[in-house]
Amino acid sequence: MSMLDALQIAVRAIIANRLRSLLTLLGLVIGVSSVIALIAVGQGTQKGVTDQIRGLGTDLVFIEPSAEATTQQGGGASPLTTTLTRADADAIAASGNPAISAVTSHITGETQAIAGVNNVGAESVFTSSNYAEVRDLEVATGSFIAPGHDRAGSLVAVLGSRVAETLYPSIDPIGQEVRLSFLAGRVVFAFTVIGVLQEVGGAADADDQVFVPITGMANRFRFLYTPTGDLRVTQIDVQAVPGADTEALKQQLTDLLLFRHNRSDPDFTIESQDDLLDAASEVANTLSILLGSIAGISLLVGGIGVMNIMLVSVTERTREIGIRRAVGATATDIVNQFVTEALALSVFGGIIGIVIGVVASLLVDGSTIGDQEMTTVIQAWSIAAAFGVSAGIGLLSGLYPAWRATVIDPIAALRNE
Amino acid sequence: MIRLDAVRKTFKTGETEINALDGVSLHVERGEFVAIMGQSGSGKSTMMNIIGLLDRPDEGAYLLSGQNVAGLSEHARARLRGTAFGFVFQSYSLLPRMSALEQVELPLIYQGVRDRRRRAAEALVRVGLADRIGHRPTQLSGGEQQRVAIARSLVVDPLVVLADEPTGALDTATGHEVMTLLSDLVNQHGMTIILVTHEPEVASFAHRMVRMRDGQIIQDTGASNAANPLNGEAST
């Protein structure tokens, strides 16, 4: 019997039992497509997170107060708990380290932005003119905080794109008044809008932020100062020169801040962009593995379905096997028939699964589910693996029933009516 | 052509052993039309299964065209079964959802024959089903289904057609038609047929009668080749 004959017999048997074949296929299709789609979602999440971190700027090192230090200070006189000051940032900038190209610092907090009847919850960022450059932020209209605003302590504001859209849906925001409320609405100040940032997109923070000169705020909130008169900040961003050894830089920054804070153990954390990328990749990879495993289990279940159907098929077709053996089919012919049938089913199911998996991944890409904008990255290896597993399961699940078919006594099989 | 020599076959059913064949010797020549008669349990079906290579004897020799086939591998037996024998069963033994033409092509698939379609169509014409080629079993009468089965047995040009109660599921008139068809194959085309039946009327179409009881041949009318002028040289 030729391969073509075997395939023809297999296809005929599959078509003859349409409903049963479809249900069997369904298991494999769901398995293969979910492997492809879920791995694409996992990989997309990884890409989204790493893009976001890369979008923060280039060659950045972030210094933040350590969680422990924050807890110890909580409950103090100031509502702002941080161990970092603007003097720390100035000292880093003044240290003359050739690996450093720029330093900026800021304070973040919650605010409610109000313009006329519109208002929106946003994150306030008290910072200075060089923030935009360090963080790679571009203005769409107007301008960012200028050094003049820093010196004068002006009450001006630069809006993130989503904030601007919500507050000024129909008019040009530049020159308009925006009121920002702080300390849970107890204090409200009016600012003049001088710029709107370009949309960053994705889950980026900048779209939902409002930037104001830190000097202007320091004049109005005395608690921003330490008892010794230093201005507190919640984060210092250090931009390294391209190609600089960020690990060495982190060590030098640690040494400098430990000396300034007069401590032996750090009350701050220093992380480079690479550290964040590594951490984020690890989380995203775990997610990929988890999603892939779940999909893998469904593929396995689909494969067991094929085996189940093939076993039922052998029992049901005992008489057919008897007839075929009576007209000269060898045991090998019968094995070929059942293995080919199982393979044809699983290869066909695999192909449909690939199509559905890829289409589903493409449909999900760029769509928004809940609050989350979804990114998917289809992996060639996941397609190959899913298809390979599907075909392998087909082969295996065909072999045992095929062997069962050959041990059937043709005489008994012919009696089986 | 077919020679069984002191063949024994025992079946075990639980504790009891049944001597299905108890030292049977039979010699069938080309062109013979042999009816094997006997009640159920007489061993007639067992003998036919052994002749058709569906079963193996426990003891004794089986020579097919001079070749001892008792020692052949299962694979070789399957190949030989496909080329040397055509089977016709009581229940037609057709595959569901296949056209008459495809049923008849089936044995040729396993032999790797090329012009299957033409040969299958010819066989169907021979049994008078030229206008039923595309019909499925459910669209055919019992007699027509049995004719398809006969065409399937003929398509390989077998040495012997083995028919096990071929009229068992048919009414008398249709059974008569089927037997007439089988007789024509012997009388006009020189086919060799071994027929298993318990109906004397069906057996009367054959030229030679072999009666069995309790696994033994109790009567053999002997080769009656005189009835078949085509096969005079085969007499012994």
**Chain centre to alpha carbon of residue A186:** 37
Give the tens place of pLDDT for each residue, B183-215: 999 998 899 999 999 889 999 999 999 999 999
> In angstroms, rounded to a whole number, what is the distance separating the alpha carbons of residues A317 and A303?
21
Q: ipTM score of the complex? A: 0.87
Higher pLDDT, B24 or A317: B24
Q: What is the dihedral of CA B49, B51, B52, B57, to 10 degrees?
A: 60
CB environment B6-38: b (16+ within 10 A), e (fewer): ebebeeeeeeeeebbbbebebebbbbbbbbbbb
Shortest Cα distance from B236 to chain A (angstroms)? 30
Q: What percent of chain B has a predicted confidence (pLDDT) above 70?
A: 94
Give the tens place of pLDDT for each residue, A132-153: 888 888 899 999 999 999 888 8
User: In this complex, is the C-beta atom of A327 within 8 Å of any C-beta atom belonging to chain B?
Assistant: yes
Nearest CB to A329: which of B52, B110, B152? B110
Q: What angle do CA A51, A112, A160 make, to 5 degrees?
A: 35
Q: List the single residue in A with minimal CA-CA distance to B85.
A: A327
- Sheet containing strand B2-13, strands side by side: B16-28, B2-13, B59-64, B67-68
Nearest CB to A1: which of B52, B98, B112? B112
- Strands A60-65 and A235-240, how do they pair? antiparallel
Shortest Cα distance from A396 to chain B (angstroms)? 23
Nearest CB to B110: which of A322, A327, A410? A327
- Interhelix angle A318-326/B74-84, rounded to 10 degrees, is 70
Give the tens place of pLDDT for each residue, A166-196: 999 989 999 999 999 988 788 899 999 999 9
**Chain centre to alpha carbon of residue A332:** 51
Q: What percent of chain A has a predicted confidence (pLDDT) above 90?
A: 26
Q: List the single residue in B with minimal CA-CA distance to A14.
A: B97
Whether pLDDT at A77 is above 60: no
Q: Which residues does chain A have within 8 Å of residue B94's beta carbon, measured at their own beta carbons? A: 323
- Nearest to residue B83, comparing CAs of B92, B91, B72, B94? B72
Average pLDDT of the residues in B16-39: 91
User: In this complex, is the C-beta atom of B73 within 8 Å of any C-beta atom belonging to chain A?
Assistant: no
> In angstroms, rounded to a whole number, what is the distance separating the alpha carbons of residues B152 and B116?
12
A73-87, A160-174, A379-393, B185-199: segment of lowest average pLDDT: A73-87
Higher pLDDT, A348 or A67: A348
Cβ atoms of B154 and B123 within 8 Å: the answer is: yes
- Strands A209-213 and A118-127, how do they pair? parallel
Q: What angle do CA A67, A68, A70 make, to 5 degrees?
A: 65
pLDDT of residue A68: 62
**Chain centre to alpha carbon of residue A408:** 55
- Strands A372-373 and A368-369, how do they pair? antiparallel
Residue ranges and CATH numbers for the domains of chain B are 30-56+74-231 (3.40.50.300)
Whether pLDDT at B229 is above 70: no
Whether pLDDT at B66 is above 60: yes
Cβ atoms of A306 and A24 within 8 Å: the answer is: yes
pLDDT of residue A303: 82
pLDDT of residue B232: 43
Average pLDDT, chain A: 86
Shortest Cα distance from A414 to chain B (angstroms)? 7
Please report the residues numbered 4 through 43 in chain A whose beta carbons come closer than 8 angstroms to any beta carbon of chain B: 5, 9, 12, 16
pLDDT of residue A203: 57
